[in-house]
């Protein structure tokens, strides 16, 4: 058995109380679903700034009514200190996912990004300490590597932040170190690398590349690629992220400890290659999609050119073992996109 399989078995026999912030969002809803499936009690916090009630409805359908009786929802914002304090009471573990994502959004509205990602994070840290929570796992980002040219990205080497979003996530890591130095709490930051999967919102100007492109392709529209298409990313399927969160929450650590882990698959894919993979898979059922070609635009401000994670630290310290690469993740995710996004399209083969 893998470390994650052993952990899941252990949790089934030893239910805990979890708090998932941002639970109506893409990643938060998957964490909530897995925890409920493992017999855990889950308190969820979200203000629906970027999350959706339909995600929670989908979780309820997936886990069933018995599991749903162990779910408690609090509508509120992490920018409100009292809300954070209330929701942390009686909690064993916190999985903190609430944030305003997107580099372009942070450039357009830096104050909103700071309020949610930095001030809200400190509210959660303080509330966790006051409530006696011993372990909090929080969403950091590969964006903290900034202009560092080193590949693969190692946790110990970062660069200059290239956007307010990247700066806010780096600030979170600094605050985590400070709180672990001053208070009896263990903190693990997960530097996510381009996560994708079901429930990822394709709408709006700040949508992630995979759901946005899939939505366009299913409408037989050509996506835009910023730059020459050789910009590369370490695309990470949601199942790998769920695994990393639970391992980081439950793996023994010192009482006063702060660390960060890359969460990825150690596999670099260019945007041109991603486009080819999407049109190939979608084209199996929709030949009209296979014939589409992208439109190239100027490079976008704040974007990192290349991204590839060294995951050896998570592997050695947590027992992290990715179960999905890009190809297997796309195969799982694309059926959801095809069924959920445009009504009436046939399910993919």
How confident is the model over 33-70, as pLDDT tens digits? 999 999 999 999 999 999 999 999 999 999 999 999 99
Residue 237 has pLDDT above 60, yes or no: yes
User: Helices (DSSP H) in the chain: which residue ranges?
Assistant: 3-13, 26-37, 53-63, 65-68, 81-87, 103-108, 110-114, 120-131, 164-182, 209-218, 238-250, 271-283, 287-290, 312-318, 326-340
Using CA atoms of 214, 166, 137, 317 in order, give the dihedral in degrees to the nearest 10.
90
- Average pLDDT taken over every residue of the chain: 92
The answer to whether the CB of 116 falls within 8 A of the CB of 139 is no
Q: What is the pLDDT of residue 206?
A: 58
Cis peptide before 152 (omega within 30 of 0): yes
The answer to whether the CB of 302 falls within 8 A of the CB of 103 is yes
CA–CA gap between residue 189 and residue 187 (Å, rounded): 7
> pLDDT tens across 255-275, in order?
889 999 999 999 999 999 999
The answer to whether the CB of 242 falls within 8 A of the CB of 249 is no
Helix (H, G, I), strand (E, B) or coil at 72: strand
Lowest mean pLDDT among 111-120, 179-188, 336-345: 336-345
Domain regions of the chain by residue span: 3-192+238-264+309-323
Residue 346 has pLDDT above 60, yes or no: no
Q: Residue 349: pLDDT band by 50, 70, 90 thresholds? A: very low
Bridge partners, 153 (sequence order): 309
Lowest mean pLDDT among 83-87, 212-216, 292-296, 338-342: 338-342
Q: What is the pLDDT of residue 345?
A: 39
Active site residue 337: no
Bridge partners, 297 (sequence order): 226
CA geometry: angle at 24 spanning 176 and 46, to 5°? Answer: 60
> pLDDT tens across 100-125, in order?
988 889 999 999 999 999 999 999 99
Residue 201 has pLDDT above 90, yes or no: no
Residue 341 has pLDDT above 60, yes or no: no
Give the rounded distance of the alpha carbon of 281 from its chain centre: 24
> pLDDT tens across 326-340, in order?
999 998 998 887 776
The answer to whether the CB of 72 falls within 8 A of the CB of 100 is no
Bridge partners, 277 (sequence order): none
CA–CA gap between residue 124 and residue 16 (Å, rounded): 19
- Token pair, residue 49, equals 């700034």
Name the active-site residue from 165, 192, 237, 320. Answer: 165
CA–CA gap between residue 237 and residue 234 (Å, rounded): 10
Residue 166 has pLDDT above 70, yes or no: yes
Q: Residue 81: pLDDT band by 50, 70, 90 thresholds? A: very high
Q: What is the pLDDT of residue 302?
A: 72
Residue 277 CB neighbour total at 10 angstroms: 17
Helix (H, G, I), strand (E, B) or coil at 118: helix
Number of H helices, E strands in the chain: 15, 13
CA–CA gap between residue 114 and residue 104 (Å, rounded): 14
Segment 134-152 mean pLDDT: 94
The answer to whether the CB of 333 falls within 8 A of the CB of 197 is yes
Tell me 153's DSSP state: B
- Token pair, residue 75, equals 């509508």
Domain 3-192+238-264+309-323 top-level CATH class: alpha beta
> pLDDT tens across 7-24, in order?
999 999 999 999 999 999
CA–CA gap between residue 66 and residue 129 (Å, rounded): 32
Q: What is the pLDDT of residue 208?
A: 82
Give the rounded distance of the alpha carbon of 74 from its chain centre: 20
Q: Residue 348: pLDDT band by 50, 70, 90 thresholds? A: very low
Give the rounded distance of the alpha carbon of 49 from its chain centre: 16
Q: Residue 343: pLDDT band by 50, 70, 90 thresholds? A: very low
Residue 347 has pLDDT above 80, yes or no: no
Residue 342 has pLDDT above 50, yes or no: no
| CB proximity list for 239: less than 8 A, separation 6 or greater | 30, 197, 323, 324, 329, 332
Bridge partners, 17 (sequence order): 41
Segment 128-136 mean pLDDT: 97
The answer to whether the CB of 253 falls within 8 A of the CB of 247 is no
């Amino acid at each position: 058995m893998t470390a994650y399989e052993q952990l899941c078995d252990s949790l089934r026999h030893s239910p805990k109380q979890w708090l998932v912030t941002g639970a109506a969002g893409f990643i938060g809803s998957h964490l909530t679903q897995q925890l409920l499936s493992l017999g855990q009690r889950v308190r969820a916090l979200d203000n629906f700034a970027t999350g959706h009630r339909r995600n929670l409805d989908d979780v309820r359908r997936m886990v069933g009514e018995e599991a749903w009786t162990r779910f408690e929802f609090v509508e509120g914002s992490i920018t409100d200190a009292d809300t954070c304090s209330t929701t942390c009471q009686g909690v064993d573990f916190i999985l903190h996912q609430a944030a305003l994502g997107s580099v372009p959004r942070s450039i357009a509205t830096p104050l909103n990004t700071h309020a949610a990602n930095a001030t809200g994070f400190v509210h959660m840290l303080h509330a966790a300490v006051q409530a006696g929570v011993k372990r909090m796992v929080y969403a950091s980002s590969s964006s903290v590597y900034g202009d560092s040219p080193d590949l693969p990205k190692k946790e110990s080497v970062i660069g200059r932040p290239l956007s307010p979003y990247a700066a806010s996530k780096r600030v979170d890591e600094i605050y985590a170190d400070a709180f672990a130095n001053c208070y009896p709490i263990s903190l693990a930051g997960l530097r996510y690398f381009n996560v994708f999967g079901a429930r990822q919102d394709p709408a709006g100007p700040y949508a992630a590349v995979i759901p946005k492109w899939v939505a366009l392709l299913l409408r037989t529209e050509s996506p835009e690629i910023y730059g020459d298409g050789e910009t590369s990313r370490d695309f990470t399927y949601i199942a790998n992220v769920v695994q990393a969160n639970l391992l980081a929450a439950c793996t023994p650590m010192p009482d006063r400890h702060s660390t960060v882990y890359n969460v990825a698959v150690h596999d670099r894919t260019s945007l041109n290659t991603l486009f080819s993979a999407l049109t190939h898979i979608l084209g199996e059922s929709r030949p009209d999609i296979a014939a589409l070609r992208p439109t190239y635009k100027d490079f976008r401000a704040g974007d990192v050119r290349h991204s590839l994670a060294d995951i050896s630290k998570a592997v050695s310290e947590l027992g992290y073992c990715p179960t999905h690469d890009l190809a297997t993740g796309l195969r799982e995710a694309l059926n959801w996109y095809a069924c959920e996004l445009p009504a009436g399209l046939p399910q993919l083969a």
